[in-house]
Amino acid sequence: MPPKVNVEDRAGGAYVLLQPEGAIDATTYTLLGGEVEAILKRATVPTLIIFNLDRVGFVSSAGIGVVLAAEKSMKAKGGKALLVNLKPHVRKVFDIVQALPAQQIYNSVGELDAYLAEMQRQVREGPPG
């Protein structure tokens, strides 16, 4: 399957969902990296970049590098990168190199949506307590 990345703005551009397909390796990582760079160059950078990896069967250190670079850039701008729907081997690779804290990795879109709903509630009403 040729590599492909779907890009979807959510919540009026507050966060962007990236959904790559196929392998993210030394030959394909530039495609995903290019999409991340384009997002970071926007006039208004989103608060979150979410990598939905449900269609990714293989990731190498080149793919990890794209996510790490996104997290570094987002953190410098007050945002962060999140990962969702990692297949077991892809999760294993991220875990070996401790790429992102466990709190930034979600098992399902449902789990991620609950986090995003809570985040939006806090923006509207302030933090709990």
Partner 1 sequence: MTRREFVLKNQLAELDRLAEGLGDFCLRQGMSEEEFADVRLAVEEAVSNTIRHGYEDRRAHRIRIRAAMKDGELRLEIEDDARAFNPLEALLPELDLPVEQKPIGGLGITLIRAVMDRVEYRRSRGKNILRLVRRAGRK
Restricted to residues 79-108, the positions that interact with partner 1 (CB under 8 A) are: 88-89, 93, 96-100
Cβ contact 126:118 at 8 Å: no
Asked if 56 interacts with partner 1 (CB under 8 A), we say: no
State which residue, 2 or 128, has the beta carbon closest to partner 1.
Answer: 2
Single-letter amino acid code for the residue at 93: V
In the bound complex, what is the minimum distance in angstroms from residue 45's beta carbon to partner 1?
A: 17
How is residue 43 annotated by DSSP? S
User: Which of 11, 31, 45, 62 is close enough to bind partner 1 by CB under 8 A?
Assistant: 62
Q: How far apart are CA 71 and CA 97, in angstroms?
A: 14
d(CA 57, CA 87): 7
